[in-house]
Amino acid sequence: MTTYYSEDHEWVEVNGGVATIGITDFAQKQLGDVVFVELPEVGKELEKGDEAAVVESVKAASEVYAPIDGEVSEVNDALEEDPALVNSDAEGGAWFLKVKIADKSQLDDLMDEDAYKAFVAEQE
């Protein structure tokens, strides 16, 4: 599996034709304590840049954007029951959604882990 990162602080883990999407540890730290997560409907078609989900914390509400085009094939219902999972396991069990990848070439626009770490270091 390969993991990519967006400038909006989403991570994308690719396994075959499916991408699992969540927010990075850096993003959850910026948000603070997450209290609510709104996920899309399974079957929703997302285009790169569309709002895919909403995360609300004690500090602010923030959108999670689709880093690539695809159809939502699964959502992580556990986040609606326990939004704090985002704070404890942002880049693991707190994934937001899975999409069937529509255009694999869009992954070329995302960063690898080293590039993302450098990007975050510039923002800190």
Residue 91 lies in a domain: yes
| Total domains present in the chain | 1
Residue 57 lies in a domain: yes
Residue 95 lies in a domain: yes
Q: Give 5-16 pLDDT, tens digit per residue.
A: 999 999 999 999
In this predicted structure, the answer to whether residue 123 has a pLDDT above a threshold of 90 is no
What is the structure's pLDDT at 1? 80
E strands of the chain, at which residues?
A: 2-5, 10-15, 18-23, 34-38, 45-46, 51-57, 61-65, 70-75, 97-101
Picking from 69, 86, 74, the residue whose alpha carbon sits closest to that of residue 23 is 86
Q: What is the largest CA-CA distance in the chain?
A: 37
Phi, psi of 106 (to 5 degrees): -65, -20
Residue 40 lies in a domain: yes
Residue 110 lies in a domain: no
Domain harbouring 46, CATH code:
2.40.50.100
Q: What is the DSSP letter of 41?
A: P
Can you give the residue range of the structural domain that contains 46?
2-102
Residue 34 lies in a domain: yes
In this predicted structure, the answer to whether residue 124 has a pLDDT above a threshold of 90 is no
The mean per-residue pLDDT over the stretch 79-102 comes to: 97
Residue 113 lies in a domain: no
Q: What is the mean pLDDT of the chain?
A: 96
